[in-house]
Structure 1
Amino acid sequence: MPYTFDPRKSAWDGTPIEQWEPSKWKQWKGKQADEPAKIEREYLRIKHAIHQANAALSLDRVKIRLKLTSAKSIGLQGTFPCKPGDVGKQGSPNKQYTISCGFAASDAGVKMAVLKARELDLSLITKQFQWTPELLGKQAQKIEVIHDINSGKLISELIQEYEREFWKTHEQNRRGIRTWETHYIRHLKKLPQDVPMSAQALEIALEKTQPNTSSRFFLVWQLKKFCEFCGIDDFKTIHAYATPKPHPTIRKIPTDEEIIQGFTKIGLPLSVYTSKENITQPEQWQWAYGMLATYGLRPHELFAVDIAAFINPANTFHLVNLNPRLTDGTKTGERSCGIPPLHPHWVDLFKLKDIRFPHNEGKLNNKTAKLYIKFRTADTGFRPYDLRHAYAIRGHRLRVPIKTMADYMGHTVQEHTKTYQRWMNEDTNLAIYQEVVIHRQGTTKEAMKERINELEAENLALKAENATLRSLLVQHQLGELLI
């Protein structure tokens, strides 16, 4: 059989192969000899396998899809940051591309393409995606790339080049700086800085983390991206230390009663400390604590609260609005709505309208870090972010719609269900069941009985009033007859 045969142009019984349902690949006969028919059925079978793989990726919310770029190869299709020198529609920084990674149209090719799709999706989620020569393909030969394989350069010099490349696709604001510090340089610092890149240097960094930990998982991920940037495609050393992403440990989310107790604890002075943060008036730390507990704010968002709008007498519902300009941006920008207190009485209980910012100088990251330190030294039993999780669960217990709660908290519905509702343990779920189902049923029966009694009494009163009106009408009619 000649290798130039293209099954995509085949037809059988008047139906082109591209219009044939791939799941029915076994029923395809073909007009030509046995060998071409086998090739055509294999093409349909792989096409069906790709459809199933894409369905599985969709269920896992992976946004990269597999695509048959030819009868013999599989590519990856998705929306990526624009290639160097390219621009999206209406100046958008993103554009849809089909990437050819050299995967054959076979079962093994489908499996490898699925793994690559998940890898690229993770790089997009963590803001670490970069166009490498592998992804650019032939275009890599037409553009100037800085991934020079130069064994003479020190790792510290390579990191500096890596950072310059990073800022080409990221804004130099607080959010961008935090991304670089948290997802990039935090891991790259584990490498020895004054030696050239080598397998031994990679081992030194990897040995600083423990297997089956998130530190090892993200270090492996970042080192692989860094090696790709440096033009190194031998990942044997990194793969030898690879570890699956561990599941997060279950948090102990404080109950409403524990939150109220923590309000008292965080106001207690600690005489063993003499820093300015410790001798600050207790009411100031309590105010910060109360805002985090009542409104489910991210710790750094406390410093973005629009105080003037909050204490405005017209703000009868005690809504909190954030002004990202106060902190050079927030994690997800401005909220689409004001944030309400799910327990309105906490506004008075914690005296939140009496503004008392704690004495907290320095950069925003330092201010946020001091909040964590204060929670720890006050022995509250939980961290500032746990108050945000408690706010999310409180909304679920009060039966606030998930979309509404996601808007209040400033993230997507997917993030709300994925991140926050997983912290609900067995006791929390049982409490919700008791409140939403059993308690509601009990109060409904009592309310129905009470309502029935009210209606019966109202009915008797109406009957008596009706009888009185009839009596008056009869008397009036008799009076007219006598006249």
Structure 2
Amino acid sequence: MTKNTQVNSLHALDPQIQTLNTRLANARMGIQIERRGEKLNLRGTLPPKPGSDRLRPHQQRLSLGLPATKQGLKQIEQEAKVIAAQLIQKSFVWHDYLAVGSGKRLSQLELADQIQAFEKSFFGMAHRMVNPAATKTTWNAAYAPYLRKLEATQAMHQSLTLPECIYKTIQLIDINTRGRQLCCTALAAFSEFLNLELPTALKTLAGGYGKHRTQARQLPSDAEILAAWQQIPNPAWQFVYGVMATYGLRNHEVFFCDYSALLQGDTRVEVLASTKTGSHAVWAFYPEWIEQFGLRTMMLPSINTDLTQTTLQRIGQRVTAQFRRYGIPFSPYDLRHAWAVRTIHMGLADTVAAKMMGHSVAVHTRTYHQWMTRRDQQQAVDVALQRRASMLSES
């Protein structure tokens, strides 16, 4: 076909496009077809694209990559009807129509490329750009492992559809576990990104983890915490241990704190915004441990905390490794949990304790109140009775 013949063929479609647009307008579809060179597009009042600073629907062009041919015209008429129905039902989403790097739409990509597009979208969300280190830690710990499992499932069961692979991946993880919960959360977010319709909501498959099956822990007593600190030979790691015990910090948070108030005589430290849950202040429980652990003299170990080269998760793993190296008979997180239970004994309001720990009140009460053992309960009773006896003696 010569160039002139091809141009004439394209122009010959224009009257058909005009006729089709009249039909769409009479049906009040709100969508029109247009030819741009050798491609057919749709145009209509559409919701703002992801990342747009526009707040309301406005006239936009939607490129579907269809050729300006008779067959392409038939296809785009069907697409126009589908999109018009989605707009009426307010179910239209851009993700399935936006072309990614290869020029293909999400639904046309291989699974590995879909996951790569999801990762790019995950990191590009505005609220996640505020704290990139925490976002990277969340992706590496709570999303990437389960998306890799999904890829492995698809590779082993190539006859299954993507929704079937998603359900299969979840079923491979024990129910009522943290892993099952994270898997459901990650794959639900991925499915939503792809605008993938699933017959059963994934959150219903997570089981009861975190609601009714939180396991009780035998946390170290105050005496055991003090004894374990003494067996650490390195003063810098003694400082890390002492701060975690006194302030209930996460492993990595010790390395991302403002200690200026503490060094000036206060009992407060400020966890920086670069941590998992952002900036928040924490007070010592017990204050006397500040002197006992020598925390007025700041002495952190020399480890890489450059978050362009490492992650919060790796820094936390370094702390765990040192605990094992020094033979500490409990995990670093047990110091955090013991701090939380200690604040309950001392009558600190759950709303205040939860804020200092950087999580919600619901998580705080659901988790730590269930971990109070008979020993903890006896201690709480003793404190309450001592407080009553003191009040009676004063009266």
Q: Shorter-chain-normalised TM-score: which range?
A: 0.5 to 0.7
Alignment partners' CA distance in 1, 2:87 and 2:336: 40
Match of 1:257 in 2: 223
Are the equivalent residues in 2 in contact too, given 1:287–1:350 (CA < 8 A)? yes
Aligned equivalent of 2:296, options 345, 349, 353: 353
Higher relative contact order (CA 8 A, sep 6+): 2
1:343-396 C-alpha deviation (Å, 9 max, x unpaired) = 222112111112221232352332211111222343323222221222222222
Q: Does 1:318 align with 2:318?
A: no
Match of 1:332 in 2: 277
Pair 1:289–1:197, CA change in 2 (3 A): farther
Percent identity between matched residues is 25
1:249-296 C-alpha deviation (Å, 9 max, x unpaired) = 21222221111112123x05xxxxxxxxxxxxx111111100111112
Are the equivalent residues in 2 in contact too, given 1:375–1:384 (CA < 8 A)? yes
Alignment partners' CA distance in 1, 2:134 and 2:88: 28
Aligned equivalent of 2:118, options 151, 162, 169: 162
Aligned equivalent of 2:315, options 367, 380, 393: 367
Match of 1:305 in 2: 257
TM-score by length of 2: 0.63
Alignment partners' CA distance in 1, 2:122 and 2:245: 36
Match of 1:192 in 2: 151
Are the equivalent residues in 1 in contact too, given 2:215–2:371 (CA < 8 A)? no
Are the equivalent residues in 1 in contact too, given 2:246–2:290 (CA < 8 A)? yes
CA RMSD of aligned residues (A): 3.6
SS in structure 1 of the partner of residue 269 of structure 2? coil
Alignment partners' CA distance in 2, 1:255 and 1:356: 25
- How big is the shift at 1:227? 3.8
SS in structure 2 of the partner of residue 321 of structure 1? strand
Pair 1:142–1:262, CA change in 2 (3 A): closer
- How big is the shift at 1:432? 0.1
Match of 2:134 in 1: 175
Alignment partners' CA distance in 1, 2:299 and 2:185: 43
1:146-198 C-alpha deviation (Å, 9 max, x unpaired) = 66433xx4321111122223234243411222222233212101123685793
Matches within 5 A, 1:385-404: 385-404=333-352
SS in structure 2 of the partner of residue 164 of structure 1? helix
Alignment partners' CA distance in 2, 1:207 and 1:407: 35
SS in structure 2 of the partner of residue 158 of structure 1? helix
Are the equivalent residues in 2 in contact too, given 1:190–1:208 (CA < 8 A)? no
SS in structure 1 of the partner of residue 141 of structure 2? helix
1:117-147 C-alpha deviation (Å, 9 max, x unpaired) = xxxxxxxxxxxxxxxx989944517884466
Aligned residues: 297
- How big is the shift at 1:203? 6.7
Pair 1:404–1:136, CA change in 2 (3 A): farther
Q: Does 1:405 align with 2:353?
A: yes
Pair 1:243–1:406, CA change in 2 (3 A): closer
SS in structure 2 of the partner of residue 330 of structure 1? coil
* Corresponding letter in the other structure for 1:260: L
Segments of structure 2 that go 5 or more residues without pairing to the other structure are: 1-46, 56-84, 100-104
* Corresponding letter in the other structure for 1:310: L
Q: Which runs of 4+ in 1 moved over 6 A?
A: 133-136
Matches within 5 A, 1:1-400: 84-85=48-49, 137-140=89-92, 144-145=97-98, 148-150=106-108, 153-170=109-126, 171-172=128-129, 173-192=132-151, 195=155, 198-199=160-161, 201-202=165-166, 205-206=169-170, 208-233=172-197, 235=199, 242=205, 244-246=207-209, 247-265=213-231, 267-268=232-233, 282-312=234-264, 315=265, 317-324=266-273, 329-335=274-280, 338-361=281-304, 363=310, 364-400=312-348
* Corresponding letter in the other structure for 1:382: F
Match of 1:439 in 2: 386
* Corresponding letter in the other structure for 2:267: H
Pair 1:302–1:217, CA change in 2 (3 A): closer
Are the equivalent residues in 2 in contact too, given 1:295–1:391 (CA < 8 A)? yes
- How big is the shift at 1:419? 3.2
Are the equivalent residues in 1 in contact too, given 2:49–2:94 (CA < 8 A)? no
Are the equivalent residues in 2 in contact too, given 1:206–1:216 (CA < 8 A)? yes
Are the equivalent residues in 1 in contact too, given 2:251–2:315 (CA < 8 A)? no
Please say which of residues 378-387 and 347-356 is displaced more in the overlay: 378-387
Are the equivalent residues in 2 in contact too, given 1:392–1:421 (CA < 8 A)? no
Alignment partners' CA distance in 1, 2:139 and 2:330: 28
Segments of structure 1 that go 5 or more residues without pairing to the other structure are: 1-82, 94-132, 269-281, 449-483
SS in structure 1 of the partner of residue 270 of structure 2? coil
Please say which of residues 215-224 and 338-347 is displaced more in the overlay: 215-224
Are the equivalent residues in 2 in contact too, given 1:154–1:197 (CA < 8 A)? no
- How big is the shift at 1:333? 2.5
Match of 2:32 in 1: none
Choose 1 or 2 for highest CA Rg. Answer: 1
